[in-house]
Structure 1
Amino acid sequence: MFMSLRNVIRNINRYRVARISDRNFLLIASIIVGVAMGFVAVLLKKTVHAVQHFLGGFFQDNSWQYLFYLLPLIGILLTVFYVQKIRKGKIGSGISNIIQSVSKRHGNVSPDNMYTHMVGSAITVGFGGSVGLEAPIVTTGSAVGSNIARIFLLSHKERVVLLACGAAAGIAAVFNTPVAGVLFAMEVLIAEFSIPTFIPILIASASGAVVSRLMYDEHLFYLLTKDWRIDAIPFYLLLGGLCGLLSVYFMRMYFWSEKKFAAVKNVLPKAIIGGLMLGLLIFCFPVLYGEGYSTIAALFQNNSHKLLNNTFYAEWVSNPYVFLLIIIGIIFFKVIASSLTLHAGGNGGVFAPTLFTGAVTGFGFAYFFNATGWKELLTVNFVAAGMAGILSGVVHAPLTAIFLIAEVTGGYTLFVPLMIVSAVSYFISRAFEPYSIYTEKLAQKGFKIDDRELVLLNNIKPESIIDRKYIALKFDDPFRKLSNAFLITDQTVFPVLNEEQKLTALVYIDDVKSVLLREDLFDKTSVADVSVKPQYSISAKDDIQKIMRLFDISGLWHIPVINADGAFIGFADKRILLGLLRETLNTHHLSEQL
């Protein structure tokens, strides 16, 4: 069967190469990726809802109610079992690694990612983990696009574009937001806007949204508003500032939690501790259970009592200021609940938690001013604006945030408030946290995505700049041997090696020009007389950034490279490095190759 499938693919590739240009086939492939991701997104959503519906049946009887708070723990344990026992600890790349893959312009994503994150997130979210499905669907879509490009023998540039197509189609299909899907792919993943890349991504996103709409015609939210008031602009500015600060809290709590859980090496205690803590938070604030989209929908319907559903203290909350304190608690503990879910071993993403946190923040902000009588604000408008604000601040993608909320709520009349809140939140968040929640992980590893020169350097392999063609000398060689070598090579620096091929000295041509003009000194002078000890050297394991810094510090064009045994293997050549850097710069833009 596999042989016949391989033959079919081979025949398709032969026909494609002969009859269809790569540019036209890229458009066809983008449709394939978009349709595939539409099906995948619907399958994932229906699977999660089926799990939630099945589990919900057990809690209709009050005798089972206490187990409700243990469901997230069970989900985390099942996810850990799947990852550790079935996947042998290999779950595949997350969005951060996909961004790195795109930045390096190879676009390789393991085929395993086409299903591993779907299974893990379905278990985690289905059992009430306080995360979302969006990041897993982006990872799945990226893997689908990357591997379809690999199957059809497309270039690395086209593979990157199809990877972005898969991610865009995934977002479009999950939220039914084709424009936001395109913007997410271009703003977060490839960080490049050009027509040759825009068109395939647009086609894939539209295809995914259409398939999802045909198979799953359910709108997430309905925004009941007709307009916004001009006198509310100062309050949208204030909300933007609040969202920016909360975005900083969100990211710092996320990474603090990650660091603490990373210190626990045994996965089982980690899952149990995190799951129990999560269950305790859900006991105190039941709205933290699951993605939280039903709570957001309730807030859009002005049903604030949803925030108190199933709480043991609902009947005691009559004072509006006490209710406001509960809202603040929900905002702060939602971030902790999401961090616990992910770092204890669950699988999911931060998209849904940011939207939930933003919605409750916007609601609480409007509720405060309405309750105090300082200003009458239209609550649903601030719920939508808060969602955009937190998403913009955490992901550092204001355009994606604006259009996602406008599309998912149908609130196109709120474009200006969404723009204000998203922009202010983004700038405040960026001032405290220069990297997004995705790129911060890369920055911690030394891969700074916003440093263009560094990104280009990281595309160059250190071994590619080593010149291994050299003529070596010995200490006791006469100068004549150096002179003869100079005539047959363009070397400007010669290594002086001992019997073990270890570097003992260097001879620079610039230092011996006076001797080269005196042939009568050729046999009276030895290499030892004109050699100097090397001041700088590079290990064969050094990264390209260190090598570049050493070139800048030393001012040299050739630096000796030493292997692990201390033997000389060649020179790191700055001319080769600059040539590769120029070539990388010319080919880095996707549009130039499509």
Structure 2
Amino acid sequence: MSLIDSLRLRLGGFDALLLLAIVGLASGILAGASNILFRLFTESGFVLWHPESDKGDFEGLSWHFHLIMPIVGGLVVGLLLQKLSKHRRAVGVGHTLERMVFHQGYLPWKNAVVQFFVGGLTLASGMSVGREGPGIHLGAASGSWLGQRLKLPNNSIRVLVGCGSAAAISASFNTPLAGVIFAMEVIMMEYTIASFIPVILASVSGAVLSRIVFGNAVAFDVPSLELVSLWEMPYFLLMGIIIGCLAALFIYCTTAVTRKTYEWPVWIKCTLSGIAVGLIALGIPQIMGIGYDSVNATLQGDYGLMLLVLCLVGKLAATIICSGMSMPGGVIGPSFFIGAMSGAIIGFVGHQFFPEYSSSYPFYAMVGMATMMSAVLNAPLAALMALLELTANPGIILPGMFSVVVANLMVTQVFKQPSMFQSLMNAKGMTFKFNPLTQFLRRVGVAGAMDRSIAVHDRHIRLLDAAQILENNPRWILIREDNVPISLMSANDLARYMVEQESSEEPMPEDIDLLKIPADRQNISSVYLQATLEEVLDSLERDKTDAAYVFRTTAPMTEKIYGVITRETIESYYTYKPASKVK
């Protein structure tokens, strides 16, 4: 067996942490590089629109640009997407989750190329979307591509998708810890040591590359913030309730727009999104683009109450339209914007009534950002980690935790809303439920669970060959007919038959038909070497069999068989076994 085959087999099990760490680091480098290129492409696109303005400073442009840029950008993006097939224009975090749930993390590279260019054009034209969604897709696709090129087991490819996602978030915000938690909480939806180690390395590599190119500063210019009094905690309770309601409204309206316009031609949807953004931007140009400059202005205390309200309403409406009409962008950036404005409004009003017991409104804006992100994505821990890393202030975590928990309870328990990503997938007819057993089966590759103690032979076997097979003590005999495996039997059954024949008075036959001798034979399915135990179980259920042989195509019309796996073996992985101790 070659070295690469041996490594693939090890990656199918639980004991390949070092190998996973190495490929996780490589995927993080690829993901970080792809996100850096995407950011440079987006910023250069804005410079082409208006060379004299700062990158992303849409407010500094004349009103003509506020109206024309999103309309032209929406039309161009729509026409480009219209020329593609429906499955090829699937992009973003929703597409990443779909491929994780239904396709074992296999992300097509062509969709990533589409995401790179149309996502960049969308952001450069000022549409109300975030760059993190495209970044996550590009990072996840980088990890998936690496796993596919190396022909790694599917359970390892799923981990590499998480690695790429973590590196993308880390590179976008310069928040490596938040990147790790986001990947585990939103993309992989699991916490295991086998996943944590490679994801951490990937996130670190993404942050390092980002700092080399863009410097050490985090995404936002956060001033020194301090909680004045614990008497402010009721404000954060109120913040959690209000932002929870806003998040539920955001999710509900975006999903409703998606359902209403799902069958519309994509170029019409993109153009209408551009028209809506352009009209809103005539009065509120701050809503254009990712809006980080407006968030920074809010954190510096530069906005008054009326402008905060206008930015909140305008950004919420523009993002609902853009995201609901499937513009190729993300919702994390807009969630930060909406949360910052909401928190700032609450802090502004509270400070007017009780100035001696309330912090400045930038403090509330920062907590509001984490609260909105958590409520929209159903990712409380990732939001809190982002809050900690962006502020470098442990004192902000206490009110942040309180507000985040209340907002999440409002969305999930009061309004019964799933996360934005799951809600949009449901609106497009992709319903799924996660359960612990399915998650467990996806973590184990068949390469790590199969029985390699097999002998492969045609149904008709000479007596001498049968004796030679049994000398090697295989557990299983895989029976072929016309060079196609059709049945599986225990080697013990063949040995028993030969012993009985030797003790019989009748002469021993020269040839043995393995399909006719007394034996407990099983019909058999086939599964690829990269499959997970979930895929094996699906194959057994589909074919109504209890065993499968594991193969890999080594050349056209040529298969190499590595082992077999039975339903009983799979069940042994999740069947309860009482704990025992040595007396």
Change (3 A) 1:212 1:47: same
Deviations 1:234-289, CA, capped at 9 Å, x for gaps: 111111111111110110111122223225x2333333333212211111211111
Determine the C-alpha separation between the residues in 1 that align with 2:270 and 2:401: 40
1:37 aligns with 2:18: no
The alignment partner of 1:131 has SS state of coil
Determine the C-alpha separation between the residues in 2 that align with 1:274 and 1:247: 21
Residue 170 (structure 1) shift = 0.6
Once the two structures are overlaid, the 10-residue window that deviates more, 196-205 or 115-124, is: 115-124
The alignment partner of 1:391 has SS state of helix
Determine the C-alpha separation between the residues in 1 that align with 2:163 and 2:542: 42
Q: Judge conservation of contact 1:13–1:153 (CA < 8 Å) in 2.
A: no
Q: Judge conservation of contact 1:168–1:204 (CA < 8 Å) in 2.
A: yes
Q: Judge conservation of contact 2:32–2:139 (CA < 8 Å) in 1.
A: no
| Paired amino acid for 1:428 | M
| Paired amino acid for 1:355 | F
Residue 96 (structure 1) shift = 2.7
Residue 26 (structure 1) shift = 1.8
Deviations 1:410-450, CA, capped at 9 Å, x for gaps: 33331111111111111111111341111123445362324
For residues 243-258 of structure 1, the aligned pairs below 5 Å read 243-258=243-258
Once the two structures are overlaid, the 10-residue window that deviates more, 391-400 or 329-338, is: 329-338
Determine the C-alpha separation between the residues in 2 that align with 1:584 and 1:350: 40
Residue 86 (structure 1) shift = 6.2
1:368 aligns with 2:352: no
For residues 448-487 of structure 1, the aligned pairs below 5 Å read 448-450=432-434
Q: Judge conservation of contact 1:182–1:201 (CA < 8 Å) in 2.
A: yes
Residue 227 (structure 1) shift = 2.7
| Paired amino acid for 1:411 | N
Residue 296 (structure 1) shift = 0.7
- 1:417 corresponds in structure 2 to 399
Q: Which structure: greater strand fraction? A: 2
Change (3 A) 1:373 1:168: same
Q: Judge conservation of contact 2:343–2:369 (CA < 8 Å) in 1.
A: yes
Change (3 A) 1:380 1:152: same
- TM-score, structure 2 as length reference: 0.70
Determine the C-alpha separation between the residues in 2 that align with 1:63 and 1:193: 46
- 1:230 corresponds in structure 2 to 230
Residue 56 (structure 1) shift = 2.7
- 1:50 corresponds in structure 2 to 44
Determine the C-alpha separation between the residues in 1 that align with 2:308 and 2:425: 33
Which of 187, 191, 209 is matched with 1:193 structurally? 191
The alignment partner of 1:438 has SS state of helix
Q: Which structure: greater helix fraction? A: 1
- 2:499 corresponds in structure 1 to none
Residue 113 (structure 1) shift = 3.2
Residue 342 (structure 1) shift = 3.3
Q: Judge conservation of contact 1:120–1:346 (CA < 8 Å) in 2.
A: no
Change (3 A) 1:88 1:438: closer
Change (3 A) 1:585 1:51: farther
| Paired amino acid for 2:295 | I
1:338 aligns with 2:319: yes
Which of 102, 108, 114 is matched with 2:100 structurally? 102
Residue 384 (structure 1) shift = 0.7
Residue 98 (structure 1) shift = 2.5
1:395 aligns with 2:377: yes
Once the two structures are overlaid, the 10-residue window that deviates more, 50-59 or 213-222, is: 50-59
Q: Judge conservation of contact 1:186–1:192 (CA < 8 Å) in 2.
A: yes
- 1:311 corresponds in structure 2 to none
Q: Which runs of 5+ in 2 are unaligned?
A: 444-540, 548-565, 576-583
Change (3 A) 1:398 1:63: closer
For residues 521-536 of structure 1, the aligned pairs below 5 Å read none
Residue 225 (structure 1) shift = 2.4
The alignment partner of 1:75 has SS state of helix
- 2:280 corresponds in structure 1 to 281
- 1:148 corresponds in structure 2 to 146
Residue 162 (structure 1) shift = 0.6
Change (3 A) 1:458 1:334: same
Determine the C-alpha separation between the residues in 2 that align with 1:224 and 1:64: 30
Aligned residues: 448
The alignment partner of 2:51 has SS state of helix
Determine the C-alpha separation between the residues in 1 that align with 2:358 and 2:16: 58
For residues 557-572 of structure 1, the aligned pairs below 5 Å read none
- 2:69 corresponds in structure 1 to 71
Deviations 1:559-591, CA, capped at 9 Å, x for gaps: xxxxxxxxxxx9996999xx9699389479xxx
1:355 aligns with 2:300: no
Alpha-carbon RMSD: 3.5
| Paired amino acid for 2:181 | L
Identity %: 24
Change (3 A) 1:582 1:259: farther
1:211 aligns with 2:193: no
Q: Judge conservation of contact 1:34–1:165 (CA < 8 Å) in 2.
A: yes
Residue 451 (structure 1) shift = 5.2
The alignment partner of 1:304 has SS state of coil
- 1:327 corresponds in structure 2 to 308
| Paired amino acid for 2:273 | G
1:406 aligns with 2:404: no
The alignment partner of 1:115 has SS state of helix
Change (3 A) 1:276 1:581: farther
Change (3 A) 1:76 1:89: farther
Residue 458 (structure 1) shift = 12
Deviations 1:163-185, CA, capped at 9 Å, x for gaps: 11011111111111110111011
Change (3 A) 1:101 1:279: same
Q: Judge conservation of contact 1:223–1:411 (CA < 8 Å) in 2.
A: no
Determine the C-alpha separation between the residues in 2 that align with 1:571 and 1:203: 38
Determine the C-alpha separation between the residues in 1 that align with 2:542 and 2:180: 45
Deviations 1:529-580, CA, capped at 9 Å, x for gaps: xxxxxxxxxxxxxxxxxxxxxxxxxxxxxxxxxxxxxxxxx9996999xx96
Determine the C-alpha separation between the residues in 1 that align with 2:31 and 2:39: 12
Change (3 A) 1:571 1:400: closer
- 1:479 corresponds in structure 2 to none
1:24 aligns with 2:6: no
Q: Which runs of 5+ in 1 are unaligned?
A: 1-10, 306-322, 460-569, 589-594
Deviations 1:142-172, CA, capped at 9 Å, x for gaps: 1111121111121111110011101111111
- 2:556 corresponds in structure 1 to none
- 1:533 corresponds in structure 2 to none
Deviations 1:167-215, CA, capped at 9 Å, x for gaps: 1111111111110111011111111111111000000001111111111
For residues 445-594 of structure 1, the aligned pairs below 5 Å read 445=429, 447-450=431-434, 583=570, 586=573
1:440 aligns with 2:440: no
